[in-house]
Amino acid sequence: MPADIRVKICGLTQPEQVQAAVAAGASYLGFNFFPKSPRFADIPTARDLAIEVPVGVAKVALTVDADNALLDAITDAVPLDMLQLHGHESPARVREVQARYGLPVMKVVGIADRADLIGLQDYWQVADQILVDAKAPKDAVLPGGNGISFDWTLLAERRWPCPWMLAGGLTPANVAEAIRLTNARQVDVASGVETAPGVKDAALMRAFVQAAQG
């Protein structure tokens, strides 16, 4: 795999996790503002973590159907490079968030089968990036970070009109194959580098980046 594969490590909650992710070579660090997630970071915590991130590593806020009041509070306090919308936000909402905050927006779209690919088209022309994730099960509490994948061959030979990132059940053991099948140039991981929900492991983060880029 080429070394230009960019890795996003999402759901960081502790200073040592941030340090290990940066040392591993992550290009993006994600801070999760969804309270039901085991990777939730409140605004003061995320601010303290974000200000320690070195220049050149993108700081991403993951939100789920957040209203303007919450986004105002997050963006006022936390130095960010990107907003990640992981809920049911419409294309119009993506545009609204872009205009209001002046930050790039990554929209997450869940995939379970070929029919779900149609939904991607609604966001190609508006989002700055697309994150293609495994669709959460109907009874899932979390919209992502569930450790499940989808059929990567659904993305084989496809070309996208905006930058995109692959997520969903990726681990150090399978990320190289996922990249080979999808031709993804960017990958996102949360549970795949944890020893327990929300507990990031430095060795797993390092192994993931090496496998993606190696």
Pairing of strands 194-196, 58-63: unpaired
Question: Please, what is the average pLDDT of the chain?
Answer: 92
Strands 199-200 vs 194-196: parallel, antiparallel or unpaired: antiparallel
- Judge whether 165 lies within some domain: yes
Long-range contact set of residues 69-73: C-beta below 8 Å, sequence gap at least 24: 70/33, 71/97, 71/100, 71/101, 73/43
Evaluate whether residue 41 is within a structural domain. Answer: yes
Residue 159 in this model has a pLDDT that exceeds 90:
no
The predicted pLDDT at position 102 comes to: 98
pLDDT at residue 3 in the model: 63
pLDDT band at 142 (very low <50, low <70, confident <90, very high): low
Residue 195 is assigned to a structural domain of this protein? yes
Q: What is the pLDDT of residue 118?
A: 82
1 inside domain: no
Q: Which helix (H) or strand (E) holds 127?
A: none
Q: Residue 2 — pLDDT band, cuts 50, 70, 90? A: low
Q: How does pLDDT run across 57-74, given as a tens digit for each residue?
A: 999 999 999 999 999 999
Q: How far apart are CA 23 and CA 53, in angstroms?
A: 11
Residue 18 included in any domain: yes
Q: Is the pLDDT of residue 147 over 80?
A: no
In a domain, 122, yes or no: yes
**How many distinct structural domains can be found in the chain?**
1
Sequence-distant (≥ 6) Cβ neighbours of residue 71 within 8 angstroms: 63, 83, 97, 100, 101
Q: Specify the pLDDT at position 145.
A: 53
pLDDT band at 175 (very low <50, low <70, confident <90, very high): very high
Burial call 139-157: b when 16+ CB within 10 Å, e when fewer:
eeebbbbbbbbbebebbee
- Is the predicted pLDDT of residue 139 greater than 90, yes or no? no
Binned at pLDDT 50, 70 and 90, residue 151 comes out as confident
Percentages of the chain per state (helix, strand, coil), in multiples of 5: 35, 20, 45
173 within domain boundaries: yes
**Mean of pLDDT values over 28-43:** 96
| Mean local confidence (pLDDT), 144-164 | 78
**pLDDT exceeds 80 at position 192:** yes
Lowest mean pLDDT among 58-62, 136-140, 152-156: 136-140
CB 130, CB 184: distance < 8 Å: no
**Residue 117 belongs to a domain:** yes
> For residue 49, what is the domain's CATH number?
3.20.20.70
Report whether 130 contacts 107 (CB < 8 A): yes
Mean pLDDT of 64-88: 97
What type of residue is 21?
A
Residue 46's domain comprises 6-213
Q: What is the per-residue pLDDT for 115?
A: 85
